[in-house]
Structure 1
Amino acid sequence: MMNMNNKNQKGFTLIELMIVVAIIGILAAIALPAYQTYTQKSKFTEVVMATTAFKTAFEVSAQTGEFSALTDADAGTKGLPPAMSTATGRVASVNIADGVITATGTTEVGGYTYILTPNGITAPIQWTKTGTCVAQGVC
């Protein structure tokens, strides 16, 4: 006759499994919002990069003396590219007016704005980043 006390038990108890499931649930609840912000930030990079042509053109035009003041720096004039008003990819629009570059994302990236403001028209030009994307932490 077998004695039940001498029998070797293998495997996990129900409590141990419940603890593991609870830990995984807590980690998922923390990780999912962080992952969603990360993916939105990576998608918004397309909007940030859309300002590069305007920024570079502004700096070149400023260094070659095209501008007498910031009010001269408008899209489509004095070596600056024309405004982009047709949505392309995740970028809804990009414009430069009085030297201030404003890019807007599509609804896929929250419709946030990314704004670059120069400190003037003399080198070295420093840019101040503002817009609704800053508060959301996606740019």
Structure 2
Amino acid sequence: MRGQSGFTLIELMIVVAIAGILAAVAIPQYGDYTMRAKISNVLAAAAPLKTAVALCVQENGGEAIACSTPVDSAPGPIPAFTPTREVASAKVTTGDIELTLAGDLGADVAGKIVKMTLQPGTSSLNWSNSTTVTNAAAIEAILKNNPPKPAATL
């Protein structure tokens, strides 16, 4: 007589349970990682504006008063922002950069504001980030390298 080969029902149930546990852990982590990647692209989109503000401040003797996004009636030293997939619009007002996020970035992020406030130092410029975003992974990514400014001033 030949013995049966294959898996028992218990063995199959154990495999399905393990796969379910792994999926329950992996899916939220995947969402966090993709949100962090999107926010990295948002911050990268602001880099040319930060460079332009730094140059403007340097050329104006350490003052940011003239460093604003140009308008039709008054061109300025800051270049016009070209929208990206993650950033719908951006404006610079006396050195402070305000980014409006695109509408399809995800829950608690779409259409929100990321503000980078200029804090001139003695030999360098520092930026303090604040945001109206409520997604925890996005907030962590935004504030990772720059300390937040008080929430009441946004």
User: TM exceeds 0.5?
Assistant: yes
Identify unmatched segments of 5+ residues in structure 1.
Answer: none
Matches of 2:102 and 2:40, distance apart in 1: 12
Q: CA deviation at 1:127?
A: 1.2
- Read off the aligned partner of 1:30 and give its amino acid letter: V
Q: Which residue in the other structure is 2:150 paired with? A: none
- Give the aligned partner of residue 77 of structure 2: 79
| Contact 2:45–2:84, Cα closer than 8 Å, also in 1 | no
Q: Which runs of 5+ in 2 are unaligned?
A: 142-154
Whether 1:126 and 2:120 are equivalent positions in the alignment is: no
Shift of 1:80: 1.5
2:30 aligned with 1:35, yes or no? Answer: yes
How much has 1:123 moved relative to structure 2?
2.6
For the pair shown, the structure with the greater C-alpha radius of gyration is 1
Give TM-score, length-normalised by structure 1: 0.76
96 and 56 in structure 1: CA distance in 2 versus 1, 3 angstrom threshold: same
Taking the aligned partners of 1:36 and 1:73, their CA distance within structure 2 comes to: 37
| Residue in 2 that maps onto 1:15 | 10
How far apart are the structure 2 equivalents of 1:16 and 1:132?
Answer: 49
| Per-residue deviation, 1:31 | 0.8
Aligned 8 A contact 2:96 2:116 in 1:
yes
| TM-score, reference length from structure 2 | 0.70
Q: What is aligned with 2:47?
A: 52
